[in-house]
């Protein structure tokens, strides 16, 4: 897609990100493409909502993030509002979401500008609630200690109808997860968990995570949850340190909402969206988490290798008693794909494994 204007989200605390941002601006100037910073704030200034950021930035064709996955998520919450593609430039430590390193940023922008880049869609989450979550004034300073300024409370989406029993529709987008967790160290959160309208169980736990397949390698994974392919459409419910025998994750269909009600005897609970604190829930409050209608669109310069990245970034090691296996059986020989395998998502033939990829569909290559 020919670019006319892009937005830039930068981790200002990392020299490599600042240098990469300079490279992006210079590339834009050479190609007569507009470039505007977004999600920028001073320490004592309030941050803006995703909709307010988009209104301030104006029309954008692409958002480029320079930092780690946290910086990418900052760009993602804004891009998801208007179906804008996101290109993540990695200067972080884990980098499951980012696509390239700083030295490759000009090559990547050239590819996007010339229409040679592919687009990968990732499922996102949104939510409804019994009321709009807010940070109590007497608790905000404590809850935000050591962090930058808080995002404003989620805005109510226009499709909300007062008093219809469905709660308020919140202008929230999560690429990784929505988390409800305890506020007090000595008091767990007690909540009823409903899946597709049916009670699963009442939990007493440090918290609970509702994650996307993309977020299955984040907080949910750290709490013992499963790893899901980001190509899936599903929700992952994972309790964090539950005080009960059943401590397993539950994977639901993408059309099965997960509702969480804070029980009357519970302590207050904090709600976070992609790691950003968005409010406090009181006993009796509830939220409903479900698949958002719009996916996030990620720029990909080559065919995604999620499992190779999983092995590398999680530093997976082979069993000491097993010899390292370096030749993948069955997937894939250089001969044409048989008809009964044509519907599968297969890696490209070895001789083209490193070439730029177009759309990666079933039986690609």
Strand partners, 207: 181, 240
Q: Is 163 annotated as a binding residue?
A: no
Collapsed DSSP state (helix, strand, coil) of residue 173: strand
Q: Lay out the sheet containing 286-291: strands in order across.
A: 168-174, 125-129, 286-291, 258-262, 189-195, 198-205
Q: Is 69 annotated as a binding residue?
A: yes
Q: Is 184 annotated as a binding residue?
A: no
Q: Is 248 annotated as a binding residue?
A: no
Q: What are 263-290's pLDDT values in tens digits?
A: 999 989 999 999 989 999 999 999 999 9
CATH architecture of the domain formed by 125-291: Sandwich (2.60)
Q: Is 325 annotated as a binding residue?
A: no
Span 158-162, average pLDDT? 76
Domains 5-122+296-307 and 125-291 are alike in CATH topology: no
Q: What are 71-120's pLDDT values in tens digits?
A: 899 899 889 888 899 999 988 666 678 888 899 999 999 999 999 999 99
Phi and psi at residue 260, to the nearest 5°: -130, 120
Answer with the residue of higher pLDDT: 240 or 57.
240
Q: Is 176 annotated as a binding residue?
A: yes
User: Which H/E stretch holds residue 105?
Assistant: helix 105-113
Q: Is 167 left (phi over 0), alpha (psi -120 to 50) or beta?
A: left
Tell me the whole-structure pTM to 2 decimals.
Answer: 0.86
Residue 17 exposed, middle or buried by CB count within 10 Å (0-12, 13-18, 19+): buried
Q: Which residues contact 245 (CB under 8 A, 6 or more apart)?
A: none
pLDDT of residue 97: 83
Confidence of residue 149 (pLDDT cuts 50, 70, 90): low
Confidence of residue 20 (pLDDT cuts 50, 70, 90): very high
Which class in CATH covers the domain with range 5-122+296-307? alpha beta
Active site residue 186: no
Q: Catalytic pick from 39, 61, 69, 164? A: 69
Q: Where are the domains of the chain?
A: 5-122+296-307, 125-291, 330-365
């Amino acid at each position: 897609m020919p670019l006319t204007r892009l937005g830039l989200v930068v981790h200002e605390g990392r020299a490599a990100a600042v240098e990469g941002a300079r490279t992006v601006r210079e590339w834009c100037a050479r190609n007569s493409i507009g470039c505007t910073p977004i999600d920028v704030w001073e320490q004592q200034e309030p941050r803006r909502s995703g909709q307010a950021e988009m209104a301030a930035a104006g029309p954008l064709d692409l958002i480029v993030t320079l930092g780690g996955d946290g910086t990418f998520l900052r760009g993602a919450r804004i891009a998801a509002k208007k179906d804008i593609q996101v290109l993540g430039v990695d200067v972080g430590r884990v980098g499951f979401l980012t696509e390239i390193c700083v030295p490759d940023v000009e090559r990547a922008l050239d590819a996007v500008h010339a229409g040679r880049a592919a687009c990968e869609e990732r499922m996102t989450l949104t939510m409804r609630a019994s009321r709009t979550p807010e940070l109590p004034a007497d608790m905000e300073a404590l809850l935000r200690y050591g962090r930058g300024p808080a995002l404003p409370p989620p805005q109510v989406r226009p499709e909300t109808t007062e008093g219809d029993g469905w709660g308020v529709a919140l202008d929230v987008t999560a690429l990784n997860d929505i988390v409800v967790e305890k506020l007090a160290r000595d008091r767990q959160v007690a909540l009823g968990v409903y899946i597709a309208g049916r009670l699963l169980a009442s939990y007493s736990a440090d918290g609970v995570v509702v994650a996307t397949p993309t977020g299955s390698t984040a907080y949910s994974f750290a709490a013992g949850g499963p790893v899901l392919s980001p190509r899936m459409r599903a929700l992952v419910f994972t309790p964090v340190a539950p005080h009960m025998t059943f401590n397993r994750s539950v994977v639901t269909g993408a059309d099965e909402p997960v509702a969480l009600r804070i029980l009357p005897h519970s302590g207050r609970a904090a709600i976070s969206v992609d790691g950003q604190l968005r409010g406090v829930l009181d006993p009796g409050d509830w939220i409903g988490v479900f698949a958002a209608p719009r996916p996030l669109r990620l720029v990909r310069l080559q065919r995604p290798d999620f499992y190779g990245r999983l092995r590398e970034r999680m530093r997976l090691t082979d069993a000491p008693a097993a010899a390292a296996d370096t030749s993948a059986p069955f997937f894939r020989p250089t001969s044409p794909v048989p008809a009964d395998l044509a519907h599968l998502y297969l890696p490209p033939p070895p001789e083209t494994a490193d070439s730029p990829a177009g759309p990666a569909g079933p039986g690609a290559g």
